Amino acid sequence: MDLQTAESKIRELQTLLHQYGYEYYVLDKPSVPDAEYDRLLRELIELEEKFPQFKTPDSPTVRVGGAILDMFEKVRHKSPMLSLANAFNEDDLRDFDRRVKQGAGGPVQYVCELKIDGLAVSLTYGDGRFVLGATRGDGTIGEDITANLRTIKSIPLRLRENVSLEVRGEAFMPKRSFEKLNKLKDERGEEPFANPRNAAAGSLRQLDTSIAASRKLDIFLYGLGNAEELGVESHSEALDYLDRLGFKTNKERHKCASIEEVIDYVNGWVERRPNLDYDIDGIVVKVDSLEEQEQLGTTAKSPRWAIAFKFPAEEVVTTLLDIELSVGRTGVVTPTAILEPVRVAGTTVQRASLHNEDLIREKDLKIGDKVVVKKAGDIIPEVVNVLPEQRTGNEKDFSMPEFCPECGSDLVRLDGEVALRCLNPKCPAQIREGLIHFVSRNAMNIDGLGEKVIAQLFANKLVEDVADLYKLTAEELLALERMGEKSVSNLLSAIEKSKENSLERLLFGLGIRHVGEKAAKTLAQEFETMDRLAVATEEELMAINEVGEKMASSIATFFDQEEVGELIQELKDAGLNMEYKGPRRSAAAAADSIFAGKTVVLTGKMERLSRNEAKEKLEALGANVAGSVSKKTDIVIAGEDAGSKLTKAQELGIEIWDEEKLLEEIE
């Protein structure tokens, strides 16, 4: 094939595949069978491999992924991507309407849209071609994820008009893609994603674009950046214009002449939302007229012309089939509700923690009861209450056992505790759960060692304590089910890498009673080496600001045990780091810092810093980072979707910062 013919054929196939893709992924009206589309795509891939000079950045073949990125570059948005204020009930919506009318000088029309539970992104097009895609970030600066966004087949790589514009939308993972992905993770013994939103965000931040391509993400576009330059006068017109250009918008939108119409629309979707094949967590209400939007303006964080109505937590009724007991790494026996599978807030729920015996009595739960279930924060399954009026007489009472369900030892309730506890240090369940804790993300962070793999290792007697993890060989691992050469190689590399962790991760991973992640960091900063900490007296430990009598006694008792000394020596022999590698507590830095001696609470989602990074930086500057808001709190740092902690801080009159202010002070 000569060059002219090859170029002509490649252009013909690109145009044809763009059209077929638009029909399939945007209109949901395919005009050719999947097999025909796949055949043409394979033909195009082969031609572009032979004649790479004719492959363009908007070719349908770029959706396959395969590029490996070094990092994500920062991108400054042309105009801020603001977050929306929230409404939780009809009164909040009416208050919003009153403020809008006051600002606009009279009645307005609204557009209601489904609030997709995904990741906000901006897409930039030059002369009709997709040239840049970015995350929302902190609203001003996001990350360049163009390569990953190109793998989403409902994003047009070439528009139907040669226009230059910026559009905004929500990338999301459909329920079917989410279920398929979590099933795959389950089979690999990996931690499943908590919800489709987290899965979508994680997929778009992969450095390997083929991973993003395999996740089958989708998108709805909801905003046009330079609408007025294009002669568009209202939000509803902007959405129609996006449709004409070939973008995928959500067709469930509705134009409303009054706030009462808005409330009717909202109430209708409270019941209908489970029927969608994607997750929504509310309804977005926007003033339709762009002129009125400009007149109303924005605050520092959100537009005055829009609000997000957040749905109440979805509650469903199911049957309590059984109560299962599990023994944790500290010996606590926890009852778990086994439920008839039911779909709640986007995922299938079959289990919910019942915490302790007192809660079971308080809720008067019996096996066989009809119960109301919800997800706290749309994430954690919870049994809300029982429906006693639906009892048939066949329900059975439940009582906690006298003996450990794993090892048969006596269960005891220690003074001041509600939990039953197994005190046998050789209880298999405690050893197994201790291993799971040791490899977890906030401890030694050994990727690939999920609960199922740990259970396999334990069942095959390959590990009995954490030191055994560092003695595993490729031959032993390859003999296990579902462990291929690549996964074994990756796992051994992750185990080897964990040896370099800073001391606080090892301390937290060892599971010393009363020593959480924060206390482990404090101890590591103060003593700097494992050897110094191991010989510290209770008095020396209690001299540290954040260590009380109970924790000091627990630490001293832990290191006094002969078995612990032997374990530490084994870990040293295996090559594990025993020193603190993080920033030291500097009296000079703390003295000059605005955070010195202050109690700070972090809440909501941070865009530029992870919660752990923010916490580490604050503690290095002398702050005490607390988990809850009280009268003793000095500053609350509120990220996106901050909830009850922010509300409490406002009620108490506590100083509230956003992430931008935090970064300014840190820098």
List active site positions.
Answer: 115
The whole-angstrom separation of Cα 150 and Cα 45 is 16
| C-beta separation of 619 from 521 below 8 A | yes
Q: Which residues contact 193 (CB under 8 A, 6 or more apart)?
A: 178, 181, 182, 185, 199, 202
387 CB neighbour count, 10 Å cutoff: 11
| C-beta separation of 149 from 121 below 8 A | yes
Q: Return the structure tokens found at 622.
A: 């002398």
Amino acid found at 579: E
644 CB neighbour count, 10 Å cutoff: 11
Greatest alpha-carbon span in the chain: 86
403 CB neighbour count, 10 Å cutoff: 11
Q: Return the structure tokens found at 33.
A: 């069978």
User: Could you give the 3-state DSSP secondary structure of residue 559?
Assistant: helix
The whole-angstrom separation of Cα 621 and Cα 598 is 10
CA angle 297, 302, 308 (to 5 degrees): 115
**CA dihedral (235, 237, 243, 245) positive or negative:** negative
The whole-angstrom separation of Cα 607 and Cα 534 is 38
* C-alpha dihedral (427, 429, 431, 432), degrees to nearest 10: 160
Q: Which residues pair with 334 in a beta bridge?
A: 326
| C-beta separation of 145 from 205 below 8 A | yes
Q: Which residues contact 569 (CB under 8 A, 6 or more apart)?
A: none
Amino acid found at 13: L
The whole-angstrom separation of Cα 341 and Cα 351 is 8
Cα within 13 Å of Cα(164), Cβ side: 2
507: nearest Cα among 555, 454, 435, 573:
555
